[in-house]
Chain A
Amino acid sequence: MPPLLPATQRLPAVAAQDHDKITQVAARVDFTAMTASVIADLSEVARSATALRAFLHGLPGVDQVGAEQRAAMLATRSIKTTAKAYAIDLAIRMVDLTTLEGADTAGKVRALCAKAQRPDPADPSCPAVAAVCVYPAMVPTAVSALHGSGVHVASVATAFPSGQATLDVKIADTRAAVAAGADEIDMVINRGAFLSGHYLQVYEEIRAVRAACGAAHLKVILETGELATYDNVRRASWLAMLAGADFIKTSTGKVQPAATMPVTLVMLEAVRDFRDTTGRQVGVKPAGGIRTTKDAVRYLVLVNETAGEDWLDPHWFRFGASTLLNDLLMQRTKLTTGYYAGPDYFTVD
């Protein structure tokens, strides 16, 4: 797919010199691993508030009806037998097992970590989840409980869930979590700044948190329920990717609606187009409201038919969920044994 840059070049809001810069950078790198021959370096689009705004507003729009129709059509895919078994195991490996409550304690987090490593104690063939996601204060507990297991520790940071703190506090929050051993940081964007059109401010905050992350992976939560339109979701996705996000994530789980199929569709289109344009692959994490195996399988179908199979890997797609895991386990047992086991056969978190 050709770079999306021409969309920006059409915009009268971009000054003439910006045109030239964007065009110049567009043909710099030859990325032979892909069919696209021209990979763009987009670092220049954030050189000024005007250029960034022009770029984001130059992205193709999203038709709400069409996006929702596509998501609804993909939800009708019928995934059975071997395909279902594959999808369930993949979904388990993609779970970020999450607890983000005021009432979280070390005991609760340790219980969750034990479950993350052995989701189904009765079946050693059941894979472990991808990560355990907790508040920064619980990171040391999770790190020691998960030591050597391969299950990552993810921590929310940057004044989760509202993000309404000063930048210093957000950076300190991030540094503390990383210092305590978090492998992944789930930050929230400044929705207030985004909705008032201060894209550069949002961008710079993400850059700053990115820098504070060091080697830790950065997931950027867009809180799509507050962005309201799919156009905004697409812009926020690109903004986060331009600023260096390793993952873009739909929601905190504290705002309704949380993850939806059409929102995730738009984000998957964004990561697909971003890789085609820049050569860099970014992951996607829907979070909140995904409770059943049926839901999870629908999301995997969405990934498969939108971004493609390159994203069907815990490295590139995650589910932020707490109750999903037990339903996946229940369905997994049903597939192997042929009958449904009662809820007492699956561990409470």
Chain B
Amino acid sequence: MPGFDYAPAPESRSIVDIKPSYGLFVSGEFVDPVDGTAFKTISPATEEVLAEVATAGPSDVDRAVQAARSAYASVWGTMSGRDRAKYLYRIARIVQERARELAVLESLDNGKPIRESRDVDVPLVAAHFFYYAGWADKLAHAGFGPAPQPIGVAGQVIPWNFPLLMLAWKIAPALACGNTVVLKPAETTPLTALVFAEICQQADLPPGVVNIVTGAGETGAALVNHPAIDKVAFTGSTEVGRLIAKAVAGTRKRVTLELGGKAANIVFEDAPIDQAVEGIVNGIFFNQGHVCCAGSRLLVQESVADQVLESLKRRMTQLRVGDPLDKNTDIGAINSAEQLDRIRRLSEIGSSEGAERWSAPCELPDRGFWFAPTIFTGVTQAHRIAREEIFGPVLSVLTFRTPAEAVEKANNTPYGLSAGVWTEKGSRILAMADRLRAGVVWANTFNKFDPSSPFGGYKESGYGREGGRHGLEAYLAY
């Protein structure tokens, strides 16, 4: 009798119409770059070229900033909150209408499984626009003074791990508060941002309110350093975050940074073990571990460590790695060759420093960028894989004996973005949450996002909050 092998169930690509080349989105139109060239964006699952995308040079960035400036002065900054909300609601509805197309495109360009882009990313994008649309006419009641004002033009630089979701996190609150934006998507994942530009056109958003400039680091630097922007918002690596903080130091620009993380996922002996194992898997293997708040350090109480690890390994053998467009895929492709190199390098360091490596047995496709879900046991605070952000499907497992030791180890990191606590004891959850130096503490769950919940870091994980009422603050002068 044959086993229960799930036949391939690929989501159809035909819903997406990818153009051979894309220009820059400036003043409500797609334009060719003045002095820029083009770069190719590929599907990390197959290395197939998806499209050519313009590289914005300094003069293109300047043009975009001027467009945003004039839209701010002439239409968006003076528009009533109620009217701004109408546009945001309209965008949210169009995102929902085009959800399947956006999900497929996101999976193609990023490599993440369609199940995640369909069930997590795109619904959250719509939810973010709906949520901040609701705030647009209620800003006087947000706790930032009786008449908070927009700041002006925001320059926003976003990463490749949640391309469209990070766009929503940046654009929705900025627009709700009356700012205009110039946004630079990551060079490996520009496509959904460009379809979002089409959605702005479809929504009749006034030209210049949203401008999208594509390119690599130089484009981002040109944007951040542009003298006419009032606010910088960045999500990405701590390394680049430092450069940005230095670049804007001494200017009038306001900054929010959402950077790296090395979150502790803490499992106590009285945890609901089966759900904790799900949470560990979701914490580190969600989106191939390309998550700044990933639970990349498992801290498990020694008295249940063997049991938890056995269960975790058994669960990991169930993970389905492969075609991101297959509806049954749990883990997709690593976003780029560069990132795959980094994951491999750090994993080799883990082995050479004496940690024990275990990977789920799985066949990886021949083409594209792949890394099997991996755990390292026998890791201590002294290992580099316990300190550095790997940003891939690699989990470092450490143990602890007492709650105090768990807190000490969890906080012993330069980062502080998120943490998880697994215990059936409510009082312990509250006590741990008080003592963990992390922006988000999840209790008996992990990687749970909601537009109404603020998100942001302690220490080198950055500053400022995105989401919720708190997320308005970065875009208001009061």
Contact = CB atoms under 8 A, between A and B. Distances in A.
Contact of B7 (A2, A69, A80): A80
B310 A2 contact: yes
B275 A83 contact: no
Interface stretch (A42-50, A58-66, A104-112): A58-66
B314 A62 contact: no
A60 B328 contact: no
Contacts of B444: 63, 65-66
Contacts of B278: 66, 69-70
Given A1-B310, A70-B278, A10 B303 contact: yes
A172 B48 CA distance: 71
A66 B306 contact: no
A229 B26 CA distance: 56
A67 B119 CA distance: 18
Contacts of A4: 307
Contacts of A69: 278
A1 B311 contact: yes
A4 B271 CA distance: 13
A79 B320 CA distance: 14
Contacts of B314: 1
Chain A contact-residue range equals 20 to 34
A63 B272 contact: yes
A30 interface: no
A4 B444 CA distance: 21
B306 A62 contact: no
A314 B97 CA distance: 43
Interface string B283-308: 00000000000000000000110110
A87 B9 CA distance: 15
A66 B318 contact: no
B275 A67 contact: yes
Contacts of B307: 1-2, 4, 6
A193 B275 CA distance: 28
B269 A10 contact: yes
A70 B278 CA distance: 8
Contacts, number: 85
A196 interface: no
Interface in B423-461: 424, 444-445
B112 to A, nearest CB: 15
Nearest to A83: B7
B20 interface: no
B7 A62 contact: no
* Interface SS of B by simple majority: loop
A167 to B, nearest CB: 34
A108 to B, nearest CB: 33
- Most central of A4, A61, A62, A79 by chain B CB within 10 Å: A61
Nearest to A272: B314
B272 A60 contact: yes
Contacts of A300: 4
Contacts of B328: 77-78
A62 B2 CA distance: 33
Interface string A216-232: 00000000000000000
A90 B5 CA distance: 13
A291 interface: no
B274 A62 contact: yes
B360 to A, nearest CB: 14
A77 B318 CA distance: 13
Contacts of A66: 272, 274-276, 278-279, 444-445
B327 A76 contact: yes
B327 A61 contact: no
Contacts of B6: 77-79, 83
B318 A61 contact: no
Nearest to B423: A61
Contacts of A10: 269, 303
Interface in A5-54: 6, 10
B115 interface: yes
B250 interface: no
A81 B275 contact: no
A292 B303 CA distance: 44
Interface in A62-117: 62-63, 65-67, 69-70, 76-84, 86-87, 90
A80 B4 CA distance: 11
Nearest to B317: A308
Given A80-B7, A83-B4, A60 B271 contact: yes
A309 B3 contact: yes
- Most central of B2, B270, B307 by chain A CB within 10 Å: B307
Contacts of A81: 7
B303 A6 contact: yes
B275 A70 contact: yes
A168 interface: no
B359 to A, nearest CB: 18
B67 interface: no
B200 interface: no
A349 interface: no
Which 7 pairs show the lowest CB-CB distances between chains A and B? A66-B275, A78-B9, A78-B327, A63-B275, A63-B272, A60-B273, A83-B7
16 contacts: A61-B270, A63-B276, A65-B275, A65-B444, A66-B275, A66-B279, A70-B278, A77-B6, A78-B327, A78-B328, A79-B9, A80-B9, A83-B4, A83-B5, A86-B5, A305-B318
Given A62-B275, A66-B272, A76-B327, 4 more contacts: A60-B273, A61-B270, A76-B115, A86-B5
